[in-house]
């Protein structure tokens, strides 16, 4: 999470992850690993990319600001993947 926070900081966006967000990310990675090929912690990379995809795209146009990532934010951004088993197979 520190690496992503540092990356967003280069665009003037302060990114903070709550403990509940980290737990939700780990839970989501575990669920996808259970339902598809289990690749362990490597799954977290693509989950993080999916989670922050929209923010990364919009960051250059955002005014300096702060984004707090909590469990609700994680669920909202990853719900489509969680609901669609076929799509979750592509989250390598």
Place of tokens 């951004």: 77
* Separation of alpha carbons 44 and 31, rounded Å: 12
CATH at residue 32: 1.10.8.60
Q: DSSP alpha helices (H): ranges in 18-84?
A: 19-35, 43-58, 71-83
Residues 20-42 have pLDDT tens digits of 999 999 999 898 888 888 888 88
* Separation of alpha carbons 64 and 75, rounded Å: 25
Q: What is the pTM of this model?
A: 0.79
**In total, how many domains does the chain have?**
1
- Residue 64 DSSP one-character state: S
Q: What is the pLDDT of residue 86?
A: 56
- Distance between start and end Cα atoms, the chain: 19
Residues forming a β-bridge with 69: 17
Residue ranges in the chain whose pLDDT is less than 50: 87, 92
Domain span including residue 31? 2-88
């Amino acid at each position: 999470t520190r690496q992503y926070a540092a990356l967003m900081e280069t665009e003037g966006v302060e990114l903070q992850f709550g403990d509940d967000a980290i737990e939700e990310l780990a839970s989501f990675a575990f669920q996808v690993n259970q339902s598809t090929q289990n690749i362990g912690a490597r799954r977290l990379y693509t989950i993080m990319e999916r989670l922050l995809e929209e923010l990364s795209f919009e960051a250059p146009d955002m005014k300096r600001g702060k984004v707090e990532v909590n469990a609700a934010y994680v669920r909202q951004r990853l719900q489509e993947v969680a609901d669609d088993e076929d799509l979750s197979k592509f989250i390598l």
